[in-house]
Amino acid sequence: MKFGIMGFSGKMGKEIVETFQESGHTPVLKVDDSHEVMDGVPEIMMDFSRPEALDRTLKICETYSCPLVIGTTGFGEKEMAKLKALSKHVGIVQSYNFSIGINVMLEVIKNISPSLSEWDVEIIEMHHSTKKDKPSGTAIMIKDLLKDAPVHSLRIGGLPGDHKVIFANGGEVLEISHRAISRKAFAIGALKAAEWIMDKKPNFYTFSDVMHSKRA
């Protein structure tokens, strides 16, 4: 694939470029706040940057009619509406977490939570101290499955991302947790999503769609 990357000079952008190149793909458009480097027409666009970059990313996808894989967090209803509008013309894979492990964890929580409906449940998420959004997009995804579960957010050190769900009743505790040990986990998932979306019809997809398709 010839791919474009928004926020290429950031930590996640660098990880994506490295991971994609290791699999033989070529960066032809690299964009960040200060400059843009173009060496060809992108067949797909990647964006794991900031909400403020969304309009620029959407414009690129419209210009080159290329699909989009986007893992930016901190979006509101307005940003999601823009993505849904673009998905009528190009394929989009959107998720707040492209870790394969996290998506398996979400499936586990979805499957077991009905059996634990009378238990107390709380969510703990920890990320690096420079992460701006709180709670994390992943914690929100978990909360959506558990409805009214409280979320506790920590921003400390250089942690790529820890998520834990704790269920408890009067006599026992059940913990489900996931730890990302490097940003490579998200880049690997982004690569799977990019390779998957290339031959798909315009629509709005999630990483769960990618995961289920791989298994099928």
User: Which residues are known to be catalytic?
Assistant: 127, 131
Angle at 55 between CA 52 and CA 56, to 5 degrees: 95
CA-CA distance, 52 to 31, in Å (whole number)? 13
H-only helix segments in 46-160:
54-64, 77-86, 100-112, 137-146
177 burial level (CB within 10 Å; 0-12, 13-18, 19+): exposed
Token digits of residue 59: 């414009």
DSSP letter (8 states) at residue 177: E
Whether the ω angle into residue 135 lies within 30 degrees of 0, i.e. cis, is: yes
Cβ neighbours for 77, distance < 8 A, ≥ 6 positions apart: none
CA-CA distance, 209 to 23, in Å (whole number)? 22
